A and B are shown apart, each in its own frame.
Chain A
Amino acid sequence: MIEGISIYEILTLTTIIFFIGVYGFITRTNLISILISVELIMNASVVNFVIINKYLYPDMLQGVLFSLFIIAVAAAETALAVSIIINLYRQIGSVEVKETEMMKN
């Protein structure tokens, strides 16, 4: 519980972060920037879980535990994504989306 700050302000903040992430995912043209946008989405939900647990249901730790797992899984996800991107970079020397795309229907 933080003095002087209600749950509404924090939830508004996380929602804004979430939509910045979605916007970035759609508009960015660099694979690494897209990955960063995904991280924003993940972290918005991590903060959501902790805050909801702390403000609304302080007697159980379900939300906090959930957020720990999300952080661990997000790290694994990023590591895998970066390794695939590095492999792609070795072949084409670029991480720009428009140079990546070969397949078009």
Chain B
Amino acid sequence: MDFSSFLLMRHELILLVIILLLIVAEIFIPQHKKGSIVHLAIFLFGIHTAVGFLGMGDGVLFGGMFRTTGMIHFFKNVLNVGVFIILLQSADWLQEKIVAQHKGTEFFVLMFSSLLGMYFMISSGDFLMFYLGLELSTLPVAALAAYETSKRISSEAGVKLILSAALASGVSLFGISMLYATSGSIYFSEMAEMISVNNLTILGLILFFTGLAFKISLVPFHFWTADVYEGAPISVASYLSVISKGAAVFILMILLFTVFKPLMGIWENMIYIVALATMFIGNLFALRQQNMKRFLAFSSVAQAGFILLGIINGEQLGFATVIYFVLVYIFSNLAAFGVVQAISLQTGKENINDYEGLYRTNPKLSLVMMLALFSLAGIPPVAGFFGKFFLFTAAASKGYYLLVFLAVVNVTISLYYYLLVIRAMFLRKGENPIAFFTSKLYMRLGLVLTVLGIIVLGVYSPLYDYIFELSKGLM
């Protein structure tokens, strides 16, 4: 028998081996040396990330349930880099708080299992694989959100996340059952041929969309976002806001552009309304936040609204722009979360007021934060500007001028609240500013990587062409 076709699942297999190795290491490493497991996990995942960049062919496994293309391979690498940065940024927190409670290994096992679920979700070829991947990616994150078991706020975040995720996947399943009723198959390729516009299919599409909208935290399914981000550990919040959102956007886009292509007239209107509501509500609620984590939560809701502007295009241009924007967004948001994490770890302060005078005491950290917020707001020299600009181009090329105009209004609103943080850091003096501190090696490495990402993506244009070429294969 020839097993070489299984190499198409290389990402999944290597990650599975890492998970098993970590479980074995947990058994054999003695109790007083448990700190070394953090180094081991980061080292193994670094190798996995590097190996992932090796080339891989296209192919289909298990009778069409699992498929991989150049684009899917590329996006798995993007997710790997994101998770690697998160691990670097949370290493110190793990060493100081979590390993001391003897829960270090489980953190990595849960996070890697969730990443494994995302791999399966984005390369799924039928709804069964999609559903299993979705659940495998959600359940471990709920456990991670409730990870600081001694803190009440963390348990509350876990309860909110698991209950809303369960409701979302239940509603989504009901939608899938209706799509199955009309098309007679759960395979994407067969469904795409059989699907036609009728009332049952439309209801199925809406219910199915609801499930993914919960994961991307689109309005009106965003209620869990702020509370979960505030209560959960910061590394879990950043994981939820970039990795889990990015993977869900990717699979939603594939499904809308291929399987639900005949229903485009329906979902265009749906996305138009949801995009407007998401941008306005995300931005307006972000204005009145005092806690940095809640602030970033509503900012990420608003960013999800901008992503929908690319999806509404419905063609290759939209696909490529959204992938590019997600890539930029991963780096910018991780930089912002990284700074919040570093400050919270040293001082325990998380409010915007506490950041007053930060530039005088910690100039490097505040520069990283400024770059991240400029990128999120979309100010020209950094990558975020090009990401937003391409998204608006994608929407405008289909004639949605009013939508683009309202999105630009939203960018202006968002600029105001991003600048509030920058003003607090640079212009305010502050009565007792955060004292000077130096972060450890891992945290510095994580922040440098994000800064490099923000600057390089803004300057190096061939990357966008590369993504555009890759996205041909999916249409």
Contacts and interface: CB of A to CB of B under 8 A. Distances in A.
Binding between chains A and B: yes
Interface in B266-289: 285, 288-289
A53 to B, nearest CB: 8
B128 A66 contact: yes
A102 B177 contact: no
Contacts of B372: none
Contacts of B176: 45
A69 B127 CA distance: 12
A49 B132 CA distance: 16
A103 B226 CA distance: 9
A91 interface: yes
Q: Which of A18, A35, A70, A100 has the most CB of B within 10 A?
A: A70
B155 A88 contact: yes
A1 interface: no
Contact of B142 (A35, A84, A92): A84
B174 A18 contact: yes
B226 A105 contact: yes
| Secondary structure dominating the interface of A | helix
A60 B127 CA distance: 15
Interface string A47-76: 011001000110010110110011001001
A21 B177 contact: no
A16 interface: no
Given A18-B174, A41-B170, A80-B162, A65 B128 contact: yes
B264 interface: no
B155 A91 contact: yes
B294 A62 contact: no
Given A35-B163, A41-B171, A42-B173, A77 B181 contact: no
Given A81-B163, A102-B152, A105-B289, A69 B180 contact: no
Contacts of A85: 159
Judged by DSSP, the binding face of B is helix
Contact of A62 (B171, B180, B231): B180
A81 B135 CA distance: 13
A69 B389 CA distance: 43
Contacts of A9: none
B155 A105 contact: no
Contacts of B177: 45, 48-49, 52, 63
Interface residues of B, number: 41
Given A66-B186, A69-B132, A105 B163 contact: no
Contacts, number: 117
B95 interface: no
Contacts of A103: 153, 156, 226-227, 230-231
Given A49-B177, A66-B186, A77-B135, A38 B170 contact: yes
Contacts of B289: 105
Contacts of A45: 170, 173-174, 176-177
B352 interface: no
Contacts of B128: 62, 65-66, 69
B378 to A, nearest CB: 25
A100 B170 contact: no
B170 A21 contact: yes
B143 interface: yes
A48 B170 CA distance: 12
Given A18-B174, A44-B174, A87-B146, A81 B162 contact: yes
B167 A41 contact: yes
A48 B180 CA distance: 10
Contacts of A66: 127-128, 131, 180, 186
A21 B163 CA distance: 13
A45 B131 CA distance: 13
Contacts of B167: 22, 25, 38, 41
B258 interface: no
Contact of B135 (A57, A73, A87): A73
A80 B147 CA distance: 12
B203 to A, nearest CB: 10
7 shortest interchain CB distances as A-B pairs: A41-B170, A48-B177, A45-B173, A88-B155, A84-B158, A38-B166, A45-B174
A84 B170 contact: no
Contacts of A76: 135, 139
Q: Which of B158, B169, B170, B180 has the most CB of A within 10 A?
A: B170
